[in-house]
Amino acid sequence: MPQPNRPGRDVAAEITDLIINKLEEGVPPWSRPWSLSQAGGRPLRHCGTPYTGINTLYLWAIADAEGYRSRYWMTYRQAEALGGNVRRGETGAVSVYYSSFQKHEAHPKTGQDVVRSIRFLRHYIVFNADQIDGLPAYFYAAAPETPAAPSDHQAAIDAFFTAIPADVRHGGNEAYFSPTFDYIQMPNRSAFTSIDHYASTRCHETVHWSGHVRRLARTFGKRFGDAAYSFEELVAEIGAGLCCSQLGLPNILHDSHASYVGHWLGILRGDKTAIIHAAAKAEQAFKYLMTFSSDAPAGADVGGGSTADCAA
């Protein structure tokens, strides 16, 4: 039987707790799952549409924790419609989306009737294809393959970064984005162990570039105060993970960013919705960077909810 939504279930807290656990284990869920799952990439709905927003991170984390290799997730009924059967005793994962309703109330000063739109988080239960028997063969991951050589991704790397009009300078031994002078500084390519790792680092700095006041104007000062800089680093790490997934690249937690993990844990423990906010901002940055490319994914939604053709 499908698992019903439990009354009063704090889904945001469940998601945040799992992300915290993965960070404490040293395995950020945006860093490596595509190397463990079939052909890499984001988690997919039963119809092949990629999940977005917090659902990407959460399902990556679940797959990593449980060892699932399939990218596909679906509801109990969707599995049945495809001829599959969720195995007895399997536990589903939550897929979240925002819904809203309108509330009529009296204006505190005028007494006139006003309408206020209230957003709230909803969820439904999905299962990985590895938890389901009898699905068509393509839902299951093939046998692991030898990792592709870095040069296999060169065309995608070149196409992605060439299209983005960032000022990128090379030299020195640091990678950073200068918001004051609006440029990305990178060590020479020869300083990296592979072109893939160079591109992974450049993804991180390019996400920072997207948040400049001339572009997405991404700021967190009011909400996170002194932790705003660390929160921006979290957005950049998640955003880099999405870019690396798009390009088929490995993404690692670079030593220069490892010091932020403690700050991220503090933020997440203090605000159970912070990771959802970070994932949404990272998704926005990823979409912005993809607008420069002819390979931009279609049909994605920042909130991570289901789309019309994949409704649960």
| pLDDT computed for residue 164 by the predictor | 98
Q: So what's the pLDDT on residue 301? A: 40
Task: Decide if 158 is inside a domain.
Answer: yes
For residue range 204-217, list pLDDT tens digits in order.
999 999 999 999 99
- Is residue 29 included in any domain, yes or no? yes
Could you tell me what percent of the chain has a pLDDT over 90? 44
- Residues 83, 79: Cα–Cα separation, whole Å: 6
Residue 3 located in a structural domain: no
Give the pLDDT of residue 31: 67
Per-residue pLDDT tens for 147-200? 434 457 899 999 999 999 999 998 877 889 999 999 999 988 877 778 888 899
Total structural domains in the chain? 1
pLDDT for position 300:
40
Q: Where is pLDDT greater, at 196 or 287?
A: 287
Share of the chain above pLDDT 70, in %: 76
Mean pLDDT of the chain: 81
Q: How far is CA 309 from CA 46, 240, 312, in A?
A: 10, 28, 9
Kindly report which listed range (107-111, 156-160, 188-192, 257-261) carries the lowest average pLDDT score.
257-261
Residue 251 pLDDT grade (very low, low, confident, very high; cuts 50, 70, 90) = low
Give the residue-averaged pLDDT of 253-268.
72
Distance of alpha carbon 162 from alpha carbon 35, whole angstroms? 25
Residue 213 confidence (pLDDT): 95
| 279, part of any domain | yes
Determine the pLDDT at residue 187: 86
Q: How much is the pLDDT for 120? A: 54
Kindly report which listed range (188-197, 210-219, 222-231, 255-264) carries the lowest average pLDDT score.
255-264
pLDDT of residue 303: 38
pTM of the model: 0.70
Considering only the C-alpha atoms of the chain, give the largest distance between any 2 of them, rounded to a whole number of Å. Answer: 69
In a domain, 2, yes or no: no
pLDDT confidence tier of residue 218, bands split at 50, 70 and 90: very high
User: How far lies 90's CA from each of 7, 61, 87, 200, 243, in Å?
Assistant: 21, 17, 6, 35, 32
> Looking at 82-91, 93-102, 165-174, which range is the least confident one?
93-102
* pLDDT tens digits along 16-63: 998 898 888 777 777 654 555 555 688 999 999 999 988 998 999 898
Beta strands at 132-133 and 85-86: parallel, antiparallel or unpaired: antiparallel
Q: Give the domain extent around 261.
A: 11-310
Find all residues with CB under 8 Å of 41, minimum gap 6, and list them. Answer: 34, 50, 71, 245, 246, 248
Name the least confident of 23-32, 167-176, 236-245, 295-304: 295-304
Does residue 58 form part of some domain? yes
Helix (H, G, I), strand (E, B), or coil: what is residue 243?
helix
234 part of a folded domain: yes
**Residue 166 tokens, joined:** 């960032």
Report yes or no on 4 lying in a domain.
no
Entry field: residues in the chain: 312
